[in-house]
Structure 1
Amino acid sequence: MEVLKAASIRRLPRWQSSLVRTKGWWACHPSRGQYALASRRFTSQPSSPPDKPYYVTTPIFYVNAAPHIGHMYSMVLADVFKRWQILKGNRAIMITGTDEHGSKVQQAAAAQEMNPKQFCDQTAEQFKELAYASGVDYDRFIRTTDQDHIQAVEHFWHLLSQRPDLFYQSTHKGYYSVSDECFYPESQLERRQDPFTGEVFLASAETGSKVEWVEEKNYFFRLTALKEDLRELYRANPDLVQPHARQHEVIAWIENQLTDLCISRPVNRLTWGIRVPNDPSQTIYVWVDALINYLTAAGFPNWAPGREHAGGWPADLQIIGKDIMRFHCIYWPALLMVMGLPLPKKILVHEHWTLNRQKMSKSTGNVVNPLYAISNYGTDAMRFYLMFEGGLEKDADYSNDVFFAKYKKFLQNGMGNLLGRVGRSKLWKLRDIVTRAGSKDEPPVTIDNDKIIEAFQRDQQMLGGHGLRTTVTTLMEARNPVDAIRAILVYCSTVNVFLAKIEPWALVKSGDPNDEGIAYQALYYAAEGLRICGILLQPFLPTKSAQLLDRLGVAKDKRTLEYAELYADYTYGEPFMEVGPDSQDGLFPPLYSNQDFIFKKNIRQDKHGNKISLQDDLKEAIEKLEEAEAESELTEEKPVRE
């Protein structure tokens, strides 16, 4: 460890060792013994240099237990924002990973009679498997046991220790939660009773985790010295943390509960972690260790002069759950201020997923296994449900009944049905529809049906001047993916209603050229709606949207955001992938609940593909049995009567 520390210090860039930054960054004023904030620092976000990619992060997940649906939600949410940037034509990177140090991991490993590193290796693989199964396109899966991260943490600690006005050692007395890995003031505690044992204990009012009294000598970060700087940060950036209600909570914490931060633990209590450089009797606090991963993944501390942004930092969007908001919205900005580093541009705080309106908990078995759900329903079906129902303002409740209902309404009967109507009929060919729409020689049609006129006007307005692309772009830039995916899928439902009103299949059969012209126009708008929806859905449902665009025959180079508008592409219509003869082969085939599955098991197909029910099988079996019995009576040798 000493060798790693020395190597880390040798790589210290000059601009970091001085702890002074200009151009509106945080600046150190040694004469005043603390950091002061230039007010202009937060009046506007500096523009990103051209070599900086869009950088989005998930929290790194604690490995004391297997992943659950909430972890999948964080991953998919970050993946959607990364893919959105790529859809816009920007370079983007995303990181996820695992937080592997601390008391909980140490205890969980001991409970399984494993050493901590083996335990972490095993559990980290489960999170990697979840990311892969969820279709998450991460650029790095970082682990806090990675060697470059250990060096980055030691380097960061060395820089912090150079500030005696902000860094000190003292005996600490207080209530500590092993589960939450943090100390709590008495004002944040309440008495609780274990419903099974009747034991009365002190617990965090915020998390419900049990606390214990601890007295020990540790290192501290003088967080209280940065109180005014934190105030100014949030005054100047009223939407740094979203939703806004969460930012108000952060400000209230700064005003009423800010205390100095204990940033180490004695090694006799915590052995599993990164040792404090030059003091092997102490282990670096897991939350200091964990937060630095976002810098490690961006190349810290080995940034070439003038290219500090090339690895992505500062993060454009950090996605976290509400239970770790204090660490990311108070401790993290304060630590970055001390380092003279730019702060994250946005922090998006999402709510929890519950099951039966109860918080998911491994200890009670009240969890949803995401890998099991994915194996049953498919990756994109689960991504759809998480994004469509996910909670940014309030907790989202996981329900199989709701999942089946939403899937059937918006995917199977919505987008899937619309694709079948446009691409499966033998009355027309999609390529002919698109070709006629783009032809200057196509004769005009006369519409004298008010219902059809109204339907056309509404559909053109939605796709045209007040386009779906504009709506979705506005929502995504406001970091509201829930309403964005809903807008896309509700539009698909609207187009289905549009086709049902016009009934192009009836118009084509009429034999009237004018009716056929009306039908082809309606089908073209429906096809355009599908094409535009397919392009906009790529960040949310990457596999299914690609299949949709393949079935429409949309060229690979015409699937970017600029093409997500009416009349932007007349080259599609020859499918690269068959639509399929029926709903079973469609883009979104039916899913079966337990009750449906029992019924489905009672259906079989004969060698010709005809569906036969169990009742038909039973009737046939009885008839064969009766025939066999009758034949037996005729051929059976009768005994001789005496």
Structure 2
Amino acid sequence: MYSMVLADVLKRWQTLRGRPALLCTGTDEHGLKVQQAAARAGVPPKQFCDENAAVFADLARRALIDATFFIRTTDPDHAAAVRAIWRRLRRRGYVYQARHQGWYCVSDETFYPENLVEKRRSPVTGKVETVAVESGQVVEWTEERNYHFRMTAVRDRLLAFYRENPDFVVPAARMAEVVDWVTHHLEDLSISRPASRLAWALPVPEDQTQTIYVWVDALANYLTKAGYPDRWAPEEAQEEAEAAAVAAAEAERDMETSTEAETTRDAVGDESAEPPRDTPSSLPARTLEQRQRQEGGGWPADVHVVGKDIVRFHAVYWPALLLALDLPLPRQILSHAHWTLGRRKMSKSVGNVVNPFYAMDRFGVDAMRYYLMHDGGIEYDGDYGNEHIVERYKKGLQGGLGNLLGRVTRTTRWNVRTAVVRVHGGVVEVEATAGGSDADVAAQVAAVRAVAGLAADHMARLDPRAALHAMMDVVYQTNKFLHDTAPWTLATQIAASSSPSPSLSPSSPSPILSADSRGAADSAGATNPDNASATRARLDRVVYLAAEALRVVGILLQAIMPEKAAEVLNVLGVGHAHRTFAHAQLNADSAYGVPLRPPGKGKYESLFPPLPVEN
């Protein structure tokens, strides 16, 4: 869920900026891990995938993921794209057959070299196991003959790309890990498995004895929904259709031939063959990029959002495949950290996992999105805890945003629309001099003016957490601003100045005023129209600046809490056409102030009502 919400926030932010944006998410459904899980469940793999894909699709819907595409790697159009990629790699000389041996991890769906495995004692069983250093998952020694991708042939180009794009992987620490791995550990990649061992996968074109490595299949999903190969290269799509027809005819003939003859005929080279030369294809990468942008296919992707455990597949294997295919590379990869529970990595075997559906039911969807963005880690792991969610809910959402909205809109002492009209009509001046008697006003003006730019800078660096913190800083500051300026006191003074003073009879005792009460009476301007006018102007200015903070932050929060942000803007009366990033500036909207939804009276009508259970 974290990856999906993170990607959704980035996508919604681009939409808020007025930019066309596409979001692709979905399920990778092939591989030995899925095959074994289906067997344990006692159902066919496709049925197993159908049931689990439905759960993930429902999770995306419940979590308000605004996905353009929900792709399943069992979709027919995806299978066609994978076959086209395989054949293109083969035509360009990047595929060969060889015997492969090494430590294979079913959970990670990858081979590990000898220097990346070690012996560890299992905390669950107490047995000594061979595990992958990086993931801690069990590996097993495997020997088999399969197809390989000449990844070493693009090593130099890959390293050159990293040098030219030092921010390709975010954060920088993982970019350094990727460069180090390519420099010291890069080998040719085994890209198929014997069908006898892995049946639940896409068959290798023209060789039914082998199936395609799950990560070649899975990574290709980005190209599938971008229209590859049909929209990209119609000539390749036609070639793929013709090849598929030929393959079907050959498969029918092969029913009468021996497996040995088939294997011999379908070999496409060996490890001793001459490596491919990096010659341009008939469709240069920049032409592909231009065509995709023009046709709205969305490739190359601006950002892939992935967990740190699969960064190598996305930052090494995927760019290497694209270089070999002579296709454009994605611009950036955001590799986020994991969530722990009680400072321990979440694991089904340990039992310390969280059901996201229960969490959303308990705390609310937007509250969970807020928590994930507020506490989720990019470089360092975040530690999940119900007590942390409650704390964020009560401090940031109830005590911060909800409290501010209530203080500004749930009162008869002032009117937001009146303040907006008087400011935009030139009756009330908003600006104040920093360091003067209105230093608090100057600080509030500066904060509201700066927040959109700060948030945009953080989002451009793929750091929604910092962007959210910048937004909430304005919420906290505005609550302090209201406390310091005390608009309720100003409203009381104005009410007192407009009420006739009761006449005192000669026999009535003279009122006794303390020094403080004399000062308050004087400042109320009960008998001075000029003082009353100045107090009215100050009240309107305070109310306006507090409402502006809510309006601007409410607009920005649409990317993170779409439903609650809409409620804030509805209560303020912000028109739907005025909820863009361009309007997230001080004084950018003169039309709001009449609620589109009543702010409510009781606590259960508030933006963030009390939680039924707080632990």
Contact 1:445 1:514 in 2 (8 A): no
**In the alignment, is residue 457 of structure 1 matched against residue 442 of structure 2?**
yes
Contact 1:410 1:490 in 2 (8 A): no
Q: Name 2:206's counterpart in structure 1.
A: 278
Q: Name 2:330's counterpart in structure 1.
A: 344
Q: Name 1:86's counterpart in structure 2.
A: 15
**Aligned pair partner of 1:138 in 55, 67, 90:** 67
**Aligned pair partner of 1:180 in 89, 92, 108:** 108
Provide the rounded CA distance (Å) in 1 between the counterparts of 2:350 and 2:128: 19
Alpha-carbon distance change, 262 to 336 in structure 1, aligned in 2, over 3 angstroms:
same
Q: Name 2:363's counterpart in structure 1.
A: 377
Q: Name 2:562's counterpart in structure 1.
A: 542
Aligned AA for 2:127? E
**In the alignment, is residue 262 of structure 1 matched against residue 190 of structure 2?**
yes
Alpha-carbon distance change, 594 to 496 in structure 1, aligned in 2, over 3 angstroms:
closer
State TM-score, norm by structure 2.
Answer: 0.82
Provide the rounded CA distance (Å) in 2 between the counterparts of 1:593 and 1:452: 45
Q: Name 2:462's counterpart in structure 1.
A: 479
Aligned AA for 1:92? A
Contact 1:93 1:138 in 2 (8 A): yes
**Aligned pair partner of 2:298 in 312, 336, 340:** 312
Contact 2:434 2:443 in 1 (8 A): no
Contact 1:76 1:383 in 2 (8 A): yes
How far residue 411 of structure 1 moved from its aligned partner, in angstroms, is: 1.1
**Aligned pair partner of 1:469 in 445, 452, 456:** 452
**Is the partner of 1:93 in helix, strand or coil?**
coil
**Is the partner of 1:537 in helix, strand or coil?**
helix
**Aligned pair partner of 1:238 in 142, 157, 166:** 166
Deviations 1:430-479 (A, max 9, x none): 21111111113x26799999896121111112223xx2111111111111
**Aligned pair partner of 2:308 in 322, 331, 344:** 322
Provide the rounded CA distance (Å) in 1 between the counterparts of 2:472 and 2:341: 25
Q: Which runs of 5+ in 1 are unaligned?
A: 1-71, 596-642
**In the alignment, is residue 522 of structure 1 matched against residue 542 of structure 2?**
yes
**Aligned pair partner of 1:531 in 551, 560, 566:** 551
**Aligned pair partner of 1:114 in 43, 47, 56:** 43
Contact 2:429 2:541 in 1 (8 A): no
Map 1:10-49; keep pairs closer than 5 Å.
none
**In the alignment, is residue 505 of structure 1 matched against residue 488 of structure 2?**
yes
Alpha-carbon distance change, 562 to 445 in structure 1, aligned in 2, over 3 angstroms:
closer
Provide the rounded CA distance (Å) in 1 between the counterparts of 2:219 and 2:581: 34
Contact 1:451 1:501 in 2 (8 A): no
Contact 1:446 1:514 in 2 (8 A): no
Contact 1:175 1:183 in 2 (8 A): yes
Contact 2:431 2:445 in 1 (8 A): no
Q: Which runs of 5+ in 2 are unaligned?
A: 234-289, 495-531
Deviations 1:285-319 (A, max 9, x none): 00000000000011100125673332111001111
Aligned AA for 1:510? Q
Alpha-carbon distance change, 446 to 75 in structure 1, aligned in 2, over 3 angstroms:
closer
**Aligned pair partner of 2:157 in 210, 217, 229:** 229
Q: Name 1:150's counterpart in structure 2.
A: 79
Q: Name 1:334's counterpart in structure 2.
A: 320
Contact 1:507 1:516 in 2 (8 A): yes
Provide the rounded CA distance (Å) in 1 between the counterparts of 2:188 and 2:375: 39
Provide the rounded CA distance (Å) in 2 between the counterparts of 1:445 and 1:198: 69
Provide the rounded CA distance (Å) in 2 between the counterparts of 1:242 and 1:323: 14
Provide the rounded CA distance (Å) in 2 between the counterparts of 1:380 and 1:98: 24
Contact 2:149 2:188 in 1 (8 A): yes
Contact 2:25 2:69 in 1 (8 A): yes
State TM-score, norm by structure 1.
Answer: 0.79
Provide the rounded CA distance (Å) in 1 between the counterparts of 2:161 and 2:40: 43
Deviations 1:165-197 (A, max 9, x none): x21101111111111111111111100122343
Contact 2:203 2:211 in 1 (8 A): yes
User: Paired residues, what number?
Assistant: 520
**In the alignment, is residue 189 of structure 1 matched against residue 117 of structure 2?**
yes
**Is the partner of 2:477 in helix, strand or coil?**
helix
Deviations 1:199-246 (A, max 9, x none): 222111111111111111100011112111111111111111110110
Contact 2:434 2:442 in 1 (8 A): no
- Out of 580-589 and 73-82, give the one that drifted further: 580-589
Provide the rounded CA distance (Å) in 1 between the counterparts of 2:332 and 2:428: 53
How far residue 566 of structure 1 moved from its aligned partner, in angstroms, is: 0.7
Deviations 1:531-590 (A, max 9, x none): 000011110110001111000000110010111111111100010101111332111122
Q: Name 2:593's counterpart in structure 1.
A: 573
**Aligned pair partner of 1:430 in 402, 416, 420:** 416
Provide the rounded CA distance (Å) in 2 between the counterparts of 1:514 and 1:450: 20
Alpha-carbon distance change, 553 to 506 in structure 1, aligned in 2, over 3 angstroms:
same
Q: Name 1:562's counterpart in structure 2.
A: 582
Contact 2:97 2:147 in 1 (8 A): yes
**Aligned pair partner of 2:472 in 474, 477, 489:** 489
- Out of 284-293 and 202-211, give the one that drifted further: 202-211
Aligned AA for 2:447? M
Aligned AA for 1:234? Y
Q: Name 1:582's counterpart in structure 2.
A: 602
Contact 2:387 2:614 in 1 (8 A): no
**In the alignment, is residue 198 of structure 1 matched against residue 126 of structure 2?**
yes
Provide the rounded CA distance (Å) in 2 between the counterparts of 1:414 and 1:201: 50
Q: Name 2:135's counterpart in structure 1.
A: 207
**Is the partner of 1:510 in helix, strand or coil?**
helix
Contact 1:174 1:215 in 2 (8 A): yes
**Is the partner of 1:538 in helix, strand or coil?**
helix
Alpha-carbon distance change, 202 to 327 in structure 1, aligned in 2, over 3 angstroms:
same
Q: Name 2:518's counterpart in structure 1.
A: none
Deviations 1:373-398 (A, max 9, x none): 00111110000000011100100000
Provide the rounded CA distance (Å) in 1 between the counterparts of 2:291 and 2:483: 57
**Is the partner of 1:320 in helix, strand or coil?**
strand
Contact 2:432 2:441 in 1 (8 A): no
Aligned AA for 1:363? S
Provide the rounded CA distance (Å) in 1 between the counterparts of 2:110 and 2:551: 50
Q: Name 1:404's counterpart in structure 2.
A: 390
